[in-house]
Amino acid sequence: MDLHDSVYPDLQVDRKDELNELKPLRDTLVEAGIIQDTISLINESLQQGKRILAEGANALMLDVDYGTYPYVTSSSTSAGGICTGMGVSPNKIETVVGVVKAYTTRVGEGPFPSLIPGDLELQLRTIGGEFGATTGRPRKCGWLDLQLLKYGHWLNNYSSWNLTKLDCLSNLGDLQVVVGYELDGKRVSGMPSQIDEMF
């Protein structure tokens, strides 16, 4: 008995038929050049002087290593993911642009020190269209967190910043900004080292 049989005992699958059906598809994809050694592809392109653009898909605090574990995704969302995910040597990374909203958002669970209370959060979520692109889940909205941005800069060494959605803060009245964290009455220079300290 294998794992498949123990987890799905009532599911009937003919593995040989399945593989025989998929093999021609695999061959078609390989022949079309869709499946290939991407490490060679990217590094040979760099040697030819071509430019490679890597775009991060999730925010830094969802990084599996540097985020607010266990409230993270399964990948490296920092610039280090370019090395570990794409096979690019660190010294080949020319520029890292930090893309940040003029306020902070988070989908799902996890600590959120700058969370905006009450109706103002709902207003900002609506104005900014802060709903998950795939799931439609509402994102939590908070004030711009400069402590978080400093932490991100330490990890990514941004060459520049791209500040987005500044217009969404128009007509919200007085704005607040997180300038630092305190823990037990003492200023924290980076991020708290334990997750329960951030709640």
- What's the confidence (pLDDT) of residue 108? 82
Whether residue 82 is contained in a domain is answered as yes
- What's the confidence (pLDDT) of residue 5? 60
Whether residue 80 is contained in a domain is answered as yes
- What's the confidence (pLDDT) of residue 94? 95
Whether residue 2 is contained in a domain is answered as no
Whether residue 23 is contained in a domain is answered as no
Render each residue's pLDDT in the chain as its tens digit; 199 residues.
455 566 777 888 888 999 999 999 988 998 898 888 899 999 999 999 999 999 987 888 989 999 999 999 888 999 999 999 999 999 999 999 999 999 999 988 889 999 998 999 999 999 999 998 888 999 999 999 999 999 999 999 999 999 999 999 998 999 999 999 998 999 988 888 888 887 6
- What's the confidence (pLDDT) of residue 48? 97
Three-class SS of residue 100?
strand
- What's the confidence (pLDDT) of residue 2? 56
**153-185 as b/e: b if 16+ CB within 10 A:** eebbebeeeeeebeebbeeeeeeeebeebeeee
Q: What is the CATH number of the domain that holds 64?
A: 3.90.170.10
User: Which among 142, 148, 131, 132 is positioned nearest to 172, based on CA atoms?
Assistant: 142
Whether residue 27 is contained in a domain is answered as no
Total structural domains within the chain? 1
Whether residue 4 is contained in a domain is answered as no
Residue 150: which domain range?
A: 37-198
Alpha carbon 141 to chain centroid distance?
16
Whether residue 127 is contained in a domain is answered as yes
57: left (phi over 0), alpha (psi -120 to 50) or beta: alpha
Contact 158, 96 (CB under 8 A): yes
* CA–CA gap between residue 80 and residue 76 (Å, rounded): 7
Whether residue 92 is contained in a domain is answered as yes
